[in-house]
Amino acid sequence: MLASILTLGGIGLFAAVALGIAAKKFAVEVDPRELAILEVLPGANCGACGQPGCGGYAKAIVAGTMPPNLCSPGGAETIEKIAHIMGVEAVSANPQLAVVCCQGDNLKASLKYRYLGLEDCNAAQKIADGPKTCPAGCLGLGSCMRACPFDAIEITSQGLAIIDRDKCTGCQKCVATCPRQVIKMTPASATTHVLCNSTDKGAQVRKYCQVGCIACQICKKTAPEVYQIENFLARVDYAADGDVLAAVAKCPTKCIRDFSTGYPEGSSFIAPNAPAKTPEEAA
Amino acid sequence: MNLKTFKGGLHPPDGKHYSAHKAIELCPLPAELIIPLAQHIGAPAEACVEVGALVKKGTLIANAKGFVSVPIHASTSGEVIAVEPRLHPMGKALPAIVIKPDGADAWDESLVGADPATLDIEELKRRIQAAGVVGMGGATFPTHVKLSPPPEKQIDTLILNGVECEPYLTADHRMMLEDTERILDGVEILLKVLGIKRAVIGIEANKPDAIETMTRAAAPRNIEVQALKVKYPQGAEKQLIDAITGRQVPSGTLPMEVGVVVQNVGTCAAISDAIRLGRPLVERVVSITGPAINEPKNLLVRVGTPLQFLVDQCGGLNGEPAKIIMGGPMMGQTQLSLETPAIRGTSGLLIFRKQDLPRLESGPCIRCGRCIGVCPIHLQPTTIAGYARLDLFDEAADYHALDCIECGCCTYICPATLPLVQSIRYAKAAIMAKKRTL
C-alpha cells in the first residue's frame, strides 16, 4: 500500500518537475501583439486574407509581411482595432460582397435532363455540363451554401442560390467553389446588379431562360455612363457616377435588380431596406 | 469447360436475348450524317474541308492533332453542308462536319490496300493511325498508341477482347460469328506489329456459338480461345488480363507493365480493313436494343448516322422513351436527345421506358458491405463516397479513389441505391484537378 503510494507519488513528482523545466527551457516567445490581434480577428479561419487561418494572418501582420486591412469578415471595426494594436493608421479596404448573378431557377430556366445524382453543383457539372440548358446559370445544388463559413447562402425551393447581404463577409469561398462562376464580388455599397451570367446571344438566351439578359441595350440607352454590354451581357460600372436605378424598371426581362427594394423571388431573406410586407402580400 | 475469371464483379440480367440472334444488317443512308471531330480519347481532330466540298466514302475530312489523336474520314460520298457545333453524345455542342449523302456511297478511289506481309512494322502502325482506328469496345483509345509501347516494356501476349460483358450489347458477339476471318486476320497483323507469337481470345461462356466458331477458325492459326465465366466487368482491360493470365496490373500503370496488349475484336476487324483494303474506320456494328425498341437489331452503321434514324430502322419505339443510353447500361453515356449521331465508340443504343427502370430514391447506407464484395479492384466504395460527400479528397485519394474503373458494380448492388460510383467519379475529378494545380 505505502509502496504503491510512494511509487506513484514519485512518478508524479518527477513528471511535474521535468515538465516544469521543459516549459521554461523550450518556451516560445510570442509577440503579445500577435495574441491581441488573434483576439480581435473573427476566428472563422475563412482564408479571405490569403492565409490559411486567423493565426497565420495575425503572425503575418506582426511580422509586417501583410497589411492589417485584409480581413473582410471582420469589417471596418476589426481593421481599426488591429491598426490600433499595431499603432498604425487604419486604411479601410474597399469592402466587397458576393452576388449570385442569376435568377434562372428551375421554374424560369429550362432543363436538359432530370438530375438524380449527388447534391453537388461540381458533380452535376460533370454530366453533360449540368442539367440546366443555360451553360452559365446557377445550378442550385448548394455547393456554395456548404462552402460558406458564415451561413450566408440559402438555396430557394426552386433551386437558386441567394446570398444574405447582412451575413456575407466577402470571404470569396463561394466564388471559388461555384463551377460556373455565377457568383461575383461587388462593392458592398452597390445595390443594383445585373443578375445574369449568360454570354450567349439574345435569341439563344430567350430559348433557355425567362429572366436572362438578352443584350437589348435598353439599359445602355437609359444610362450610358453606368451600363455597358460586353459579350451580349449587360454590366454595371460600379465606379461610374450615374443614375443606376433608371434602368431597373425599363429592363424587359427584369434581370437588373435593385437589392435595396427586393431580393429575387423565392427567397426567405428580407432585403435590408425593404418595406415590411403586409400579411396579404406575405401569403 | 475450364472457365477462368477474376475476383469480384457480378452478373446483372443481361438482356442479350433481344438482339443476340439477329444477324448484322447494313443500315441505309440517312438524310444527313453528323460527324463529330471528337470521337476518340485524346486531342480532337482538326477539320480540313470546307462547306461545299465534295467527298467520297473514306476521304480524309479532319487531321489528327497530336500523337494521341487520329484523323476522321467521310463515311459516305456526298457534299459537306456544314462545319459547325452540333449536339455530341457527351451532352454538349461540339464541332462536327455535316455531310449530305449523294446516295452513291462510293469509296474514294485513292484508297488502296496492301499485303501486310510486304509492309514493315512502322508502316503498319502508320497505316493503322491514318485509318483512324480506335478501341471499339467503347473507350475509343487510339490503337496505334497501344501498339507503340516503350522499348523497355517486353510484350509477350496479345489478348483479344470478345467478352462483351455489358448487358444488352451483342455487336461483338455477332461480329465473332459473322466476321471471324476479318477478326483473325487483324489478330495476325497485330501479332506482326508487336513481334510476338501468343494471342488469346477471351469469350464469356454465355456465347457458346461464338466460342465454337472462333475455336474452329483460330485453331489452324495457332491462336488460343479461352472461355470465361459470365461476369461483369470482365471486358475491362485489367480484369480480363487477370482472368486470362492471372497477372495483376499494378495500380496506376497500363497493361504493358505486365507484358500484355488488349484489343477489342471489332478493332481487329477494322485493322484488317485498314491494311488489306486501305479503308479507314467509317462504319461499325451497333446493337439497337432495349425493351422500348419494337424490333431490336444489330446494324452496320456509318459513323455520323443520327440515333433517331437508327430507331426508325428498328420499327420505332413502343412507348415513351424515359432513358436513352449510348453504349451499355452499366458504363454507357445517357443521351439527351435522339438527334445525336452514332460515333466510332458507339457499341449500342439502348432505350428504356419508365416501367423498365428501377426506383431511384436513395436511402441511408446500411453497412452491408456488398459494394466491397463486388468491387473488381477491391476498393471500399462507401468509404470513398463518404469522403467525397464531405469534400475530403486527400482521404479519398488515400483509399485509392483514382484506381476506380467506374464500372458501377457498387452502385448496381447497393440495396440503399446510393450513388456510389457517381461520388467516386466526383472525387476522382477533384483529385485530378488538385494534382494539376500543384
Q: What is the pLDDT of residues B235-288, one digit of tens each?
A: 999 999 999 999 999 998 999 999 999 999 999 999 999 999 999 999 999 999
Q: Does A207 touch chain B (CB under 8 A)?
A: no
Distance (Å) from the C-alpha of residue A161 to the closest C-alpha of chain B?
A: 19
Mean pLDDT of B398-425: 93
Q: What is the pLDDT of residues B8-44, one digit of tens each?
A: 999 999 899 999 999 999 999 999 999 999 999 888 9
Distance (Å) from the C-alpha of residue A132 to the closest C-alpha of chain B?
A: 11
The band of A174, judged by pLDDT with boundaries at 50, 70 and 90, is very high
Are B422 and A113 a contacting pair at CB < 8 A?
no
Minimal CA–CA distance to B90: which of B345, B296, B267?
B345
Residues 6+ apart with CB under 8 A from A21: none
- For residue A126, which residues of chain B lie inside 8 Å, CB to CB? 425-426, 429
- For residue B90, which residues of chain A lie inside 8 Å, CB to CB? 128
Q: Is the separation of the CB atoms in B284 and B138 below 8 Å?
A: no
Using CA coordinates, name the residue in chain A closest to B88.
A128
Are B422 and A123 a contacting pair at CB < 8 A?
yes
- For residue B336, which residues of chain A lie inside 8 Å, CB to CB? 112-113, 128
Q: Which pLDDT score is estimated for A273?
A: 54
Please compute Rg for chain A using Cα positions: 26
Q: What is the pLDDT of residues B348-366, one digit of tens each?
A: 999 999 999 887 788 899 9
Mean pLDDT of A142-151: 91
Q: Which pLDDT score is estimated for A271?
A: 59
Are B426 and A113 a contacting pair at CB < 8 A?
no
Do strands A256-258 and B283-289 pair parallel, antiparallel, or not at all (unpaired)?
unpaired
Q: Which pLDDT score is estimated for A98?
A: 92
Are B336 and A116 a contacting pair at CB < 8 A?
no
Mean pLDDT of B46-64: 94
Q: Which pLDDT score is estimated for A283?
A: 45
Q: What is the mean pLDDT of chain B?
A: 93
Selected for mutation to probe chain B from A115, A116, A134 (highest B CB count within 10 Å) is A116
> What is the percent of chain A with per-residue pLDDT over 70, rounded to a whole number?
92
Stated as kind and residue range, the H or E segment containing A133 is none
Q: Is B302 helix (H, G, I), strand (E, B) or coil?
A: strand
Mean pLDDT of B181-197: 94
DSSP-based helix, strand, coil % in chain B, nearest 5: 30, 20, 45
Q: What is the pLDDT of residues B298-352, one digit of tens each?
A: 999 999 999 999 999 999 999 999 999 999 999 999 999 999 999 999 999 999 9
pLDDT at A281 over 80: no
Q: Which pLDDT score is estimated for A266?
A: 67
Q: Does A123 touch chain B (CB under 8 A)?
A: yes
Give the count of beta carbons closer than 10 Å to the beta carbon of residue B231. Answer: 24
Distance (Å) from the C-alpha of residue B64 to the closest C-alpha of chain A?
A: 25
The band of A113, judged by pLDDT with boundaries at 50, 70 and 90, is confident
Q: What is the pLDDT of residues B102-117, one digit of tens each?
A: 999 999 999 999 999 9
Which cell numbers hold the place of B153?
Answer: 516494356
Rounded (10°) angle between helices B180-194 and B121-130: 130
Q: What is the mean pLDDT of chain A?
A: 86
> What is the percent of chain B with per-residue pLDDT over 70, rounded to a whole number?
100
Give the count of beta carbons closer than 10 Å to the beta carbon of residue B144. Answer: 24
Q: Is the pTM of this model over 0.80?
A: yes
Q: Is the separation of the CB atoms in B157 and B245 below 8 Å?
A: yes
Asked which of A94-98, B157-161, B190-194, B291-295 is least confident by mean pLDDT, the reply is A94-98
Which residue in the block uniquely carries the three cell numbers 445544388?
A141
Q: What is the pLDDT of residues A187-199, one digit of tens each?
A: 988 889 999 999 9
Q: Which pLDDT score is estimated for A64?
A: 85
Helices (H) and strands (E) in chain B, counts: 13, 17
Q: Is the separation of the CB atoms in A147 and A161 below 8 Å?
A: no
Nearest to B426 among A123, A129, A135 (CB): A123
